[in-house]
């Protein structure tokens, strides 16, 4: 299948990290998912810690989600006219994130961040933005400068094809460095429209915000009249019921969402302060539109998924399970004498072949990728599917139970031996 795919699709994949280029070997072509498992075309079963890169928080093919899709699809796939189910998703998002007063649905995280940036620029009448080294905000031109995820995996954090005129409007500073943000504001008076940040960085492996970092951004944006954008495409409803903003108690001006809010279907969203959102067409002069935006079938999958996360104790159980995994892996590595660390927040985790957990992109770059690659393949052979890159966070779903964690740790005993 991989050979055939490469004849019609660049590198055989529709998103770069899927190609296994950084870990080597042949990507698994998946045919089916069920709860914590995925199954490949050879019939091999894997415990899945990718979860479609975040959306599958309830596990694969959860009956409630599948049912919602089936029931909705019967009535038509798309109308390009308003539907009631879109109101339900908008109301659900607003109820969960107190910083959202108005929200617009789109079809991907990339669309959400591109739109939020244009909105921030239109609202402020300024052109420049600040982003952080190693943060990934989708593949919009302004944001593919020193980006994370696949851009980082392939050593091209800044993409070819982005005109210098566009890239020059993007100021890149180190993650967790408030002083560098302040210097940028001082050096560019009245020019910075927005600061965009992953409130928990999950696209250069996992890097947590240092104490005072997000607060510092809030203070500086207020002082210099810039829009603070939390890109919660990954963290939204993954690190807690009210996103990273609820967890850390910081209110951004705009928020971008994706992944979990579509439950595996293409849904994104951007929203925030009413006075800013009212600049969006047709209320205001900032244009944004989408033929399939608010698609009823996709929205139904998202609503069903969010309803599952409303179960009492959902996020506590998810966080506990995820911590059991990372603490278990650290203990195994220690026994095997491998320089390794790990950490978790909510249902996402980071694994590092380094003694200490990283606090910045520079720290992440010191991790031993050759060791990671050996570990990755040993685990894959043992039926454990981690992200095929040392620069991606991992995801646990509510369908992962004690049995799957135990099986993973047993496989890790052998994989760490292979990696050392």
Ligand X SMILES: *Cc1c(COP(=O)(O)O)cnc(C)c1O
Q: Give the x-and-dash track for 181-210 against ligand X (CB under 6 A).
A: -----------------x---xx-------
Does position 110 interact with ligand X (CB under 6 A)? The reply is: yes
Options 231, 352, 361, 363, the catalytic residue: 231
Q: Which of residues 212-231 bind ligand X (CB under 6 A)?
A: 231
Among 22, 113, 322, 397, binds ligand X (CB under 6 A): 113
Among 58, 173, 206, 234, binds ligand X (CB under 6 A): 234
Looking at the Cβ atoms of 56 and 378, the one nearer to ligand X is 56
Q: How far is the CB of 15 from ligand X (least distance, A)?
A: 7
Looking at the Cβ atoms of 309 and 408, the one nearer to ligand X is 309
Q: Which of residues 357-376 bind ligand X (CB under 6 A)?
A: none
Does position 258 interact with ligand X (CB under 6 A)? The reply is: yes
d(CA 327, CA 322): 9
Judged by CB under 6 A, the stretch of 131-139, 165-173, 321-329, 355-363 that binds ligand X is: 131-139
Nearest to 332 by CA among 209, 419, 221: 419
Asked if 419 and 75 count as a contact pair (C-beta separation under 8 A), the reply is no
Count the neighbouring beta carbons within 10 Å of the beta carbon of residue 112.
Answer: 32
Looking at the Cβ atoms of 221 and 260, the one nearer to ligand X is 260
Tell me how many residues contact ligand X (CB under 6 A): 15
Long-range contacts from 91-97, C-beta under 8 angstroms, 24+ separation: 92/303, 92/306, 93/257, 93/261, 93/269, 93/271, 94/271, 96/237, 96/241, 96/242, 96/243, 96/246, 96/306, 97/232, 97/236, 97/242, 97/243, 97/245, 97/246, 97/255, 97/271
Tell me the two tokens of residue 13.
Answer: 């994949």
Does position 136 interact with ligand X (CB under 6 A)? The reply is: yes
The β-bridge partners of 45 are 39
Options 128, 131, 146, 259, the catalytic residue: 259
Query: Tokens 């978790």 — which residue?
Result: 344
Tell me the two tokens of residue 326.
Answer: 């990372």
CA angle centred on 113, ends 139 and 180, rounded to 5°: 90
Q: How far is the CB of 232 from ligand X (least distance, A)?
A: 7
d(CA 98, CA 266): 24
Options 37, 46, 49, 136, the catalytic residue: 136
Looking at the Cβ atoms of 134 and 358, the one nearer to ligand X is 134
Long-range contacts from 365-373, C-beta under 8 angstroms, 24+ separation: 367/205, 368/339, 369/22, 371/338, 371/419, 371/420, 372/23, 372/419, 373/22, 373/23, 373/24
d(CA 66, CA 300): 9
Looking at the Cβ atoms of 305 and 404, the one nearer to ligand X is 305
Judged by CB under 6 A, the stretch of 70-78, 133-141, 163-171, 328-336 that binds ligand X is: 133-141
Asked if 92 and 157 count as a contact pair (C-beta separation under 8 A), the reply is no
Active site includes 231?
yes
CB within 8 A of 128, min separation 6: which ones?
169, 170, 171, 188, 191, 192, 193
Judged by CB under 6 A, the stretch of 18-26, 102-110, 159-167, 289-297 that binds ligand X is: 102-110
Measured at CB, which residue is nearest to ligand X? 109
Q: Which of residues 386-415 bind ligand X (CB under 6 A)?
A: none
Strands 348-352 and 37-40 come out as unpaired
Does position 140 interact with ligand X (CB under 6 A)? The reply is: no
Does position 133 interact with ligand X (CB under 6 A)? The reply is: no
The β-bridge partners of 60 are 35
Query: Tokens 């506990």 — which residue?
Result: 320
Q: How far is the CB of 313 from ligand X (least distance, A)?
A: 26
Looking at the Cβ atoms of 10 and 225, the one nearer to ligand X is 10
Active site residues: 136, 231, 259
| Contact residues for ligand X, defined by CB under 6 A | 108-110, 113, 136-138, 198, 202-203, 231, 233-234, 258, 268
């Amino acid at each position: 299948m991989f050979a055939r795919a490469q004849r019609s699709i660049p590198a055989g994949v529709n998103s770069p990290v899927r190609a296994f280029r950084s870990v080597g070997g042949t990507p698994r072509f998946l045919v089916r998912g069920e709860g914590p498992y995925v199954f490949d075309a050879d019939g091999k079963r894997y415990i899945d810690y990718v979860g479609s890169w975040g959306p599958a928080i309830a596990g694969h093919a959860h009956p409630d989600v599948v049912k919602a899709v089936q029931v909705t699809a019967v009535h038509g796939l798309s109308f390009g006219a308003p539907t009631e189910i879109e109101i339900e998703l908008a109301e659900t998002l607003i109820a969960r994130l107190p910083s959202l007063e108005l929200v617009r649905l789109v079809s991907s995280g990339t669309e959400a961040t591109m739109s939020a940036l244009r909105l921030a620029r239109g609202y402020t009448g300024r052109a420049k933005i600040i982003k952080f080294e190693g943060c990934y905000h989708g593949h919009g031109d302004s944001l593919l400068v020193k980006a994370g995820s696949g851009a980082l995996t392939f050593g091209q954090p800044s993409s070819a094809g982005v005109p210098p005129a566009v890239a020059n409007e993007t100021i890149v500073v180190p993650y967790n460095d408030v002083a560098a943000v302040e210097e940028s504001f001082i050096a560019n008076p009245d020019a910075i429209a927005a600061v965009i940040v992953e409130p928990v960085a999950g696209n250069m492996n996992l890097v947590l915000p240092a104490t005072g970092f997000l607060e510092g951004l809030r203070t500086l944006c207020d002082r210099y009249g810039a829009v603070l954008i939390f890109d919660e495409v990954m963290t939204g409803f993954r690190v807690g019921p009210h996103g990273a903003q609820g967890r850390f108690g910081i209110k951004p001006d705009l928020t971008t969402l994706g992944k979990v809010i579509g439950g595996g279907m293409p849904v994104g969203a951007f929203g925030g302060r009413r006075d800013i959102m009212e600049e969006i067409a047709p209320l205001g002069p900032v244009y944004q539109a989408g033929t399939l935006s608010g698609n009823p079938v996709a929205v139904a999958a998202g609503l069903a998924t969010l309803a599952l996360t409303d179960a009492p104790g959902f996020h506590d159980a998810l966080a506990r399970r995820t911590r059991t995994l990372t603490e278990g892996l650290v203990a195994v590595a220690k026994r095997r004498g491998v320089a390794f660390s790990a950490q978790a927040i909510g249902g996402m985790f980071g694994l590092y072949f380094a003694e200490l957990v990283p606090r910045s992109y520079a720290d992440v770059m010191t991790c031993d990728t050759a060791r990671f690659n050996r570990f990755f393949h040993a685990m894959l052979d043992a039926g454990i599917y981690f992200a095929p890159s040392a620069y991606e966070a991992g995801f646990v779903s509510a369908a992962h139970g004690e049995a799957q964690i135990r099986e993973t740790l047993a496989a890790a005993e052998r994989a760490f031996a292979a990696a050392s």
